[in-house]
Every structure is written in structure tokens, then in C-alpha cells.
Structure 1
Amino acid sequence: MRRFVRTAALAAAATLTLAGCAGTAPASSGGSDDHGEISVQYSWIKNEEFAGEFYAYDKGYYEDAGFSDVVGISGPDTGVAKLLSNTVQVALSDAASVGAAIAEEDTPLKIIGATFQKNPFTILSLADGANITTPQDLVGKKIGVQDSNASVFAALLNANGIDPADVEVVPVDFNPTPVMNGEVDGFMAYLTNEALTVELAGYDVTNLAYAENGVPYVAETFTVTDQYLAENQELLKDFLTAEIKGWTHVFQEPVDDTVSLVEKYYNQAADESKDGLESTFGALDPKKTAKGIEAQNLLVSTEETEANGLFTISDDLKKQTVASLGAAGWDVSVDDLFDTSIIDGIYKENPDLKDYLP
């Protein structure tokens, strides 16, 4: 789940000129048959973050929706450049990457739904160490921040009125060892990843979640180009319906069954990888995977999704997302960033799909 936010706009600029001349997939004929093949860019490697997609494959929901194949492409990748060059038709991205591309390069992209209602960013600290429980606890501390996450960390400080000069930023990668060794007081992490790694290593951890501390925005977003959205309404409707059905199983099936399914797709991706997926990331840890599923379900399911359905984005959350991006220096409007008419229409026609909880 690495987010290359700072490079998203540059990548978009490099391919923006291709958007006008690139071909687009055939427009949907208006039914749930013969949509053909589409490609979907995943934001990260094929792990539990895409458990709903794996169920959609495993249960035949994509096929039932009229797709001959849905090609899921492993990340890490924001998908912005590939969308603009029509290399992929849908990207599972995030509001920060998409918002940055729109704000800086006026890229023609729209978020049409979001798996994560809450972004997974956190400032991780040790309970018997710095124990950072409030934004003001950041003052005077050493915080490990990855280069690609610098803008989002700046948004956390900005949203809470903290002078950047009052916090010492230490460049780090995504290995949380520095916080475990006491080299930094806090570490920018994911609730679904590094925070679990440290906890499973035997440490009591404290999380300062961005979504609960002034920087709420959606993540794991279904993102498409404006042109593809305009020309493929029925295709996207059928695709999102299959996704809803797949993610419903994540909440209704035993966690162990979901872990086994994730392991199946992870191992397939490792076997197919040309750059040594398993040698880079290691074998899938079932215990961490189970905890990851439980942690991310808290980001996927909220009171609003219980009322409105998976992937929906309320008007309030749209405004909060735009405000959070503004705090990071990306000026976009709700209409620039979102078009949720398809997902809203799905639930209007099929209200029974809202019932994803067991």
C-alpha cells in the first residue's frame, strides 16, 4: 500500500498528452453481457487489501457481470499515469494521489467509489516510549516520515495548527525498525501494515490515526478517467456490483477462510512475478494477514456504509476529503474529484446490496 503521492502529478504530466490520442475500451452496450476484458491497477501487492476482489473472482461475480476477464495488476502504483494512457481502465488508488494529479496538472480523473472510508495513515509510537496520543504530542519529537508521505504528514501538522519547525522529521523507509529501536519517537505508518508488524513483534503500540485527527479522506478509491466514465456507465455499474458482492464476503465469511483465499492469490502473484515478489516481501504471514483483515474492515465499514452501502461516499466525507487535501496544498473541489452517481444508482435499484454485514 505504498502511495507515491509526490510523484503522481509528475507521472500524470508525462502521460497527459497521451490521453487525447489513446484508444478507449469499447463503450458498454447497456447490458450485463459481453463487457469483454478490462484491466484494474491495484495500489499494492496482492494481499488482504484486495480480499474483496479475490472473492469476486472466486465466486464468479465478474463473469456473472459479463466480463471475459478482469485483469488485476499488482502494485505498488497509484494508477494515475496508466489511466491517462489507457493502459488500465480502473485504478484502486487514493484521494491524495488523485487529488494531487487533478490540482497540479488538471488531469481528467474521477473517484467513483471508495473501499476505505477512512485512510489508514497513523503516527505509530511505543506505549512505553513517546506514547503519542494527540497531535500536540508531536511537538518536540523526532518523527520518521517517508519522502513519498511528506505532503500528507505536512497536512496533519497543518490541520492541527502545529508549526513544522517544532517537529524534527527524520527520513526513513517503510521498515519500522527505527521506532522499535528508539531512533525516532514516532513513525508514519499504516494501521493495516507496519503498526501490526510492530505489535506482532511484541511491542505495545499507540496509534495516532490521521482519519481521527484532522485528516479524514477516502482511500482505495475506484478511479477512472472522465472519458471512460462517460462512455461506460453500464460496464462500471456491473463492475462495481460485482465488487460489492465480493467485499460482502469479506464481512460474512470466517476470517480464516479469507486468509486462505488471500494466500492463494498472493502465491499465484509470487509465482508469476518477474521481480521476485516473495523474495522481496517474504511468504505471506497468516497471523498478520488475519489481523490486517480485521484492521482494514474497521476502515471499510462505518455507520455511513451500514446505512448507504459499501463504497458509497457521503457528502460530508467528500467535503472532509477535499479539506484534507487542501491542508496538504492540493486545491480541488468536490466536483473536481468525485462522481458517485453510479454507486448511488446501484443501491437505489438494488437496496438489498446494502446488507453486507452478517
Structure 2
Amino acid sequence: MTNTTLTTPARRFLSRSPGRRILAGVLGLTTAVALASCSGGDDEAAPDADNPTHVALQFGWTPNVENMAAIVAEQKGYFRDEGLDVEILPGGPEVAADAQVVSGNADMAILTSESLANAVANGAPLVAVGAVYQKSPSVILTTDGSGINTPKDLEGKKFGISKTDHRVYEPFFTSAGVDLSKIDMVDTGADPASLVSGEVDAMSAVAANQPVVLRQQGVVTKEIPLADYGFNRWSGALTVRSSDLADDAQRQKVLAMARAIEKGLETAVADPDDAATVVYDAYARDLGLSIESQKEGAKIWADLATSANNRTTHIAEVDDAGVASQQEFFDKTGIKGTASQLYDVAASREAFGDE
């Protein structure tokens, strides 16, 4: 729910019953689809600021500055301005964000392009109407002085990687002209300790996560963005049920959610320090995160939101060129998905006022 007292949302989601949080993970897809088909309907009123409609927004992980667009929108009343009373549902390892939307527990989820494609390939009736981060946060992380300046420099070196990243990095290295057989791939997970200790020379990382942690420890880092080499996985995809876009009242509701998030994103990009403070006071403080890490992370996420090449649209709006870039990413990584069916360009244009 939209709150004027910043710490209230943190108390709310931290006290939410575990059974409610993991419900989507245990629902079968057949049941979830049936539930989704029963939600909404023509009798639902369109969003009205004087009589706000309850909506639920599912995060992929716990609330931090990666989700600053939605959190700023919640805290500054942008959802309320759109006639919505928003409830933020935290994510985590027990929560399947896509299933939360399919089941009807949430009206919108924040996904990556890859997770959206995989969900749809498995039968989930989902589509995205926007994408907050249209430049990938994935980077090769190394330390200053390592001599690693390009992906090719990893040949003959040890590269730390999490198991889930193999699917991305193996085709990435091939497309970047790197001889994969000359890289010693070490399963280190996401912990940067192996890089600091010298166990590996570089590692897979997220620009606003491991590099921030290391810099706060006094380690001078260097990052090589995968997006600079044509490997550009979007994140922050504003994902809804396909059926909601076919029903006028439901369509207006989810597009209003997208507009509120877009306004929150614009506010956060204009002042990342303030956005980080809002996130910290509302959620991150109770999660044990530091204000310093949130502020540095907010600046990085703000840059990722605005630095996609040749942007002529609203920040979170998706266009045909961007969708084509996701198809290229799918093709290179072997992900099953047709990007033009996963991202609704017309709905995105409608949401953000370009038609």
C-alpha cells in the first residue's frame, strides 16, 4: 500500500507470512492459468484517484535500489496519482515471480528478458509492457592492475562464474572472439572473495553489486560490460498477464502501474542520492543494507536505465529496435523465445503517452 511513513512497508513485507510468499512456487501451472482466467473482468472499475484500485507488484528479489523506480513511485504517491493502491511483494529464492502473476497473486512482476522468455516457453501467458534497464548490468569484474582490459585478455586466466551464468558467458566468449578452451572456468558463485584472494583473475558480476562491495572495502576494480560487446540482456521487464491487455479495464490498470513506475524511474534518475535514501528508509535499512552501498548502487542503476544506445522514447518504453536486440540476445544464448511476442510495443507506447 502507498505509505507516508517510510518504515511501514518494510515492517509489512518482513512480517508477511512465509506461506503467502511461497504460494506461487507450489502452484501448478494448470491451476495458475485457471486462477488467472478468473481474475479481472469487465465489471472492474478503471483506476480512480478518489477510489484507488488495489494492485500487487511482485519483485524478483528483496527491495533495494535495483527496484528504486517502483519504490520511489510507491513512496512519493505516483501509484496513488494513477488511481492505484499498490502493495509491493518482495521476492527471493522461494518465490517464482512469474508464477505470482500467472496465479493472480500479483498484477505485475519485475523480470529479466531471460526469465520472461523461459516462463513463456513453459506455458506462462505473460507479456511485458516496458523494461526499466535496457542496458545489461552484467559485467566481467577484475581488479585494477590485472592486465585484463578486454574479454580476449581472459585467455590463459582463471574466470570465476556462478552455475547459472554459464549459459550466458560461454556463448558470449565465443561471440567476442575468445577461445573458450583457453579460459579456466572456476565455479565460485557470486561471492567476490575469490577475486580478492587471487583464486581467480576475474569473475562474472552485476555492475551494482559485487563491484560496489569491493570498492567499499578499498579494492580498486575494473568492469567490462557485456553490453559493450553486443550481449545486452534487459532487466526490470514490467510483466503482466497477456489476458489483462485484452480486457479494457485490466489493460488500463496495468498500464497505469507502468506509468507510475516510469515516473518513479524518472525521479530516481534525476536524483539517485535521494532515491537511495527513499529506498533505504523504506526497506533497505531493515534488510541490513548500508546507505553508502545504496547510494553508489543507485547511481549505477540510473546510468543503466538511461545509457541504452539511440534512445528516443521514454526511459522504460520498449520499441522495435530494442525488442530486436533482445531477439539477438536470445539467438546467441540459445534461449527459446520470440522477443516480438514477449514485449508488447503498442501497449508500451500507449502506457507512456506516445499515441
TM-score category (smaller protein)? 0.7 to 0.9
In structure 2, relative to structure 1, the CA distance for the partners of 1:345 and 1:304 (3 Å cut) is farther
Separation in 1 of the partners of 2:101 and 2:213? 32
Q: Is the contact between residue 12 and residue 101 of structure 1 (CA under 8 Å) also seen in structure 2? A: no
In structure 2, relative to structure 1, the CA distance for the partners of 1:14 and 1:168 (3 Å cut) is farther
In structure 2, relative to structure 1, the CA distance for the partners of 1:12 and 1:338 (3 Å cut) is farther
Deviation at 1:218, TM superposition (A): 1.3
In structure 2, relative to structure 1, the CA distance for the partners of 1:207 and 1:178 (3 Å cut) is same
Residue in 2 that maps onto 1:16:
29
Deviation at 1:333, TM superposition (A): 1.8
Q: Does 1:262 align with 2:276?
A: no
Identity over aligned residues, as a percent? 22
Aligned-partner residue type, residue 92 of structure 1 = I
Q: Is the contact between residue 305 and residue 312 of structure 1 (CA under 8 Å) also seen in structure 2? A: no
Residue in 1 that maps onto 2:47:
32
In structure 2, relative to structure 1, the CA distance for the partners of 1:151 and 1:201 (3 Å cut) is same
Deviation at 1:285, TM superposition (A): 1.6
Q: Is the contact between residue 92 and residue 220 of structure 1 (CA under 8 Å) also seen in structure 2? A: yes
Separation in 2 of the partners of 1:339 and 1:125? 37
Q: Is the contact between residue 62 and residue 69 of structure 1 (CA under 8 Å) also seen in structure 2? A: yes
Separation in 1 of the partners of 2:225 and 2:108? 28
Q: Is the contact between residue 43 and residue 220 of structure 1 (CA under 8 Å) also seen in structure 2? A: no
Aligned-partner residue type, residue 143 of structure 2 = L
Residue in 2 that maps onto 1:153:
169
Separation in 2 of the partners of 1:154 and 1:161? 11
SS at match of 2:34: coil
Residue in 2 that maps onto 1:209:
225
TM-score of the pair, normalised by structure 2:
0.83
Residue in 1 that maps onto 2:18:
none
Q: Does 1:338 align with 2:338?
A: no
Residue in 2 that maps onto 1:138:
154
Q: Is the contact between residue 305 and residue 311 of structure 1 (CA under 8 Å) also seen in structure 2? A: no
Among candidates 53, 62, 87, match of residue 70 of structure 2: 53
Which segment is superposed worse, 136-145 or 224-233? 224-233
Residue in 2 that maps onto 1:181:
197
SS at match of 1:20: helix
Q: Is the contact between residue 47 and residue 82 of structure 2 (CA under 8 Å) also seen in structure 1? A: yes
Residue in 2 that maps onto 1:5:
none
SS at match of 1:22: helix
- The unaligned stretches of length 5 or more in structure 1 are 1-10, 271-277, 351-358
Size of the alignment, in residue pairs?
A: 325
Deviation at 1:243, TM superposition (A): 1.3
Q: Is the contact between residue 61 and residue 90 of structure 2 (CA under 8 Å) also seen in structure 1? A: no
In structure 2, relative to structure 1, the CA distance for the partners of 1:230 and 1:212 (3 Å cut) is same
Deviation at 1:159, TM superposition (A): 2.4
Q: Is the contact between residue 115 and residue 221 of structure 1 (CA under 8 Å) also seen in structure 2? A: yes
Aligned-partner residue type, residue 335 of structure 2 = W
Separation in 2 of the partners of 1:230 and 1:86? 16
SS at match of 2:352: helix
Aligned-partner residue type, residue 315 of structure 2 = L
Residue in 1 that maps onto 2:11:
none
Q: Does 1:118 align with 2:135?
A: yes
Deviation at 1:95, TM superposition (A): 0.3
Separation in 2 of the partners of 1:339 and 1:42? 20
Deviation at 1:126, TM superposition (A): 1.0
